[in-house]
C-alpha cells in the first residue's frame, strides 16, 4: 500500500514537472518583489498565480491547497519557479566564466555576401589585425572580397565600440579609454578614433530608440532645463553655455526628450521639447510638473492645445509649493549629467552627447534600489549586453545604412 502511494506521488511529481516546462515555454514568470512571483496559468493566459517564498514555497492554486500544502510537495507553478531560477543561475554562471578576451572577438553574421546577398561564397585566407586574425571571404558571383562583421570599416568591432561607449558615459575621458585599451588588450587606438565612434554610433542609436515606445508609463511628466558648458567661448568671455531641456516620466524615470536650445529659453524651445516628448510617449500626459519658467506654460498650451474647453493637460508649477510637490526626479537626473560633463570641461557637439546620455540613462544605467533600467520599468528592456543589443538593432534599421556601412544579413 505504501509503495503504491509513493509511485502515485512520483507520477504526479513527473506530470507537474512537465507542466512546469510547458508554462515556461509560454513566457517567463513576473517578479513582483524579492519573495513573490506571478506565474501564468498553463491553459488560461488571462490567469496568473502568486507564488511566494520566504521560509517555504506557497502558491494560490487549488492543486497546492488540496494536495501539496503541508506535505512537502510542489505544484506545477512552484516547480516552474524552481526550474526558472535554475536556468537563470546556470546562465549567469556561464556568462561569468567566459574569458575576458571575448570582449574583442568578432560575432559573425549569416554567411552571405554583404554586397549582393549571395550565399555562393568561399573562404579566402585571413587578415591579421590588432584584435586577431579575421577570416576573409570571396563571393563567386560579384567577385568581392570581405570580412563578415556587423560593422565594417572601423579599427575594431561591435564589442569594442560598446565597451568604449560604456566607459565614456560612465565618466572616462577619450584618452583614458584609449589608455585602457592599450593596457588591457594591447590595442593602439587614438583617442580621436574613440571620439568618432561615440559621435557616429550615438546618432544611429538615438534614431532607433525613438522608434521604441514605452508601455507602462504613468503619464505624469517632470520637465526642467539646465545649462551645459561648451567650448564655443572666446578668451574675453571665457566658457560658453547652452540650455538643455529634459522631460521625464515620473514613475519609470524614462527620459522622453532631451533637446538643446542654444542660448535661449523661449516658449518655442519649450514647445519643441514637449512635442518631442509627446512623439516618444505616444499619448497626451495627464500632468506636467515644471519650475517657475513662464515658457513652459506657453509651450504646453501650444503643443497640446491646452486652452479653453480643450484643456487636456494639468500644468503644475512647483513655485511656492515645494512641500506639496517637487521636481526632484528630473533634478536628480541633472546632477548625473553634470558629473558627466564636469570631466569634459566643455563639449562642442552638445545635442549629440545629450542623445547619447539619453540612451545611456534609459537602456543601460540601472537604478540603485530596484536594479532596473528605466526601459525595463517601461516594459521595453533589452537582454544581454545592453549597449551591444541596441547597437546591433540600430544598424539593422534601413535609415541607418546611410551613416553606417553595414554587412547585409538575410
For residue 207, what is its C-alpha cell? Answer: 534614431
C-alpha–C-alpha distance, residues 57 and 351, integer Å: 51
Cα of 69 vs its chain's centroid, Å? 41
Q: Where are the domains of the chain?
A: 2-96, 103-208, 215-347
Q: Are 314 and 287 in contact (CB under 8 A)?
A: yes
Residue 243, pLDDT above cutoff 80: yes
Residue 254, pLDDT above cutoff 50: yes
Question: What is the CATH class of 215-347?
Answer: alpha beta
C-alpha–C-alpha distance, residues 329 and 409, integer Å: 42
Residue 153, pLDDT above cutoff 70: no
Q: What is the model's pLDDT at position 152?
A: 60
Q: Are 347 and 353 in contact (CB under 8 A)?
A: yes
Which whole number is the average pLDDT over 255-278? 92
Which whole number is the average pLDDT over 264-288? 92
Q: What is the model's pLDDT at position 143?
A: 84
Q: What is the model's pLDDT at position 204?
A: 87
Hey, which of 126-135, 230-239, 362-371, 395-404 has the most confident mean pLDDT? 362-371
- Comparing 120 with 128, the larger pLDDT belongs to 120
Q: What is the model's pLDDT at position 130?
A: 58
- Comparing 109 with 78, the larger pLDDT belongs to 78
Q: What is the model's pLDDT at position 113?
A: 72
Q: What is the model's pLDDT at position 111?
A: 64
Confidence label for 296 from pLDDT (cuts 50, 70 and 90): very high
Residue with cell 543601460: 364
Task: Please provide the average confidence, as pLDDT, over all residues in the chain.
Answer: 79
Residue 97, pLDDT above cutoff 60: no
Amino acid at each position: 500500500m505504501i509503495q503504491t502511494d509513493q509511485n502515485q506521488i512520483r507520477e504526479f511529481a513527473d506530470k507537474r514537472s512537465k507542466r512546469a516546462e510547458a508554462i515556461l515555454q509560454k513566457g517567463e514568470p513576473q517578479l513582483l518583489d524579492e519573495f513573490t512571483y506571478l506565474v501564468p496559468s498553463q491553459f488560461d493566459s488571462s490567469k496568473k498565480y502568486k507564488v511566494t517564498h520566504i521560509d517555504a514555497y506557497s502558491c494560490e492554486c487549488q492543486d497546492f491547497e488540496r494536495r501539496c500544502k503541508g506535505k512537502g510537495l510542489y505544484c506545477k507553478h512552484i516547480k516552474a519557479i524552481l526550474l526558472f531560477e535554475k536556468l537563470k543561475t546556470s546562465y549567469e554562471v556561464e556568462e561569468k566564466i567566459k574569458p575576458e578576451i571575448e570582449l574583442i572577438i568578432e560575432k559573425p553574421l549569416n554567411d552571405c555576401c554583404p554586397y549582393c546577398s549571395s550565399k555562393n561564397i568561399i573562404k579566402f585566407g585571413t587578415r591579421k589585425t590588432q584584435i586577431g586574425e579575421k577570416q576573409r571571404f570571396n563571393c563567386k558571383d560579384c567577385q568581392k572580397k570581405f570580412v563578415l562583421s556587423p560593422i565594417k570599416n572601423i579599427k575594431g568591432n561591435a564589442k569594442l565600440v560598446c565597451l568604449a561607449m560604456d566607459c565614456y558615459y560612465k565618466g572616462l575621458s577619450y584618452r583614458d579609454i584609449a589608455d585602457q585599451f592599450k593596457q588591457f588588450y594591447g590595442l593602439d587606438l587614438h583617442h580621436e578614433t574613440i571620439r568618432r565612434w561615440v559621435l557616429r554610433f550615438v546618432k544611429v542609436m538615438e534614431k532607433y530608440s525613438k522608434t521604441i515606445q514605452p508601455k507602462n508609463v504613468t503619464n505624469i511628466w517632470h520637465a526642467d532645463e539646465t545649462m551645459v558648458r561648451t567650448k564655443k567661448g572666446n578668451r574675453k568671455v571665457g566658457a560658453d553655455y547652452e540650455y538643455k531641456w529634459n522631460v521625464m516620466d515620473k514613475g519609470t524615470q524614462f527620459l522622453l526628450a532631451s533637446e538643446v536650445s542654444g542660448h535661449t529659453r523661449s516658449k518655442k524651445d519649450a514647445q519643441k521639447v514637449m512635442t518631442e516628448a509627446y512623439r516618444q510617449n505616444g499619448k497626451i500626459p495627464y500632468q506636467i510638473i515644471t519650475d517657475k519658467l513662464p515658457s513652459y506654460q506657453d509651450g504646453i498650451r501650444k503643443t497640446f492645445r491646452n486652452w479653453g474647453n480643450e484643456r487636456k493637460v494639468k500644468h503644475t508649477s512647483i513655485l511656492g509649493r515645494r512641500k506639496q510637490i517637487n521636481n526632484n526626479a528630473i533634478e536628480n537626473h541633472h546632477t548625473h549629467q553634470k558629473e558627466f560633463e564636469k570631466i569634459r570641461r566643455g563639449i562642442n557637439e552638445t545635442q549629440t552627447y545629450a542623445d547619447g546620455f539619453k540612451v545611456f540613462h534609459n537602456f543601460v544605467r540601472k537604478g540603485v534600489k530596484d536594479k532596473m533600467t528605466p526601459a525595463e520599468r517601461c516594459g521595453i528592456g533589452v537582454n544581454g549586453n545592453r549597449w551591444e543589443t541596441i547597437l546591433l538593432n540600430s544598424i539593422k534599421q534601413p535609415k541607418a545604412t546611410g551613416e553606417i556601412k553595414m554587412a547585409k544579413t538575410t
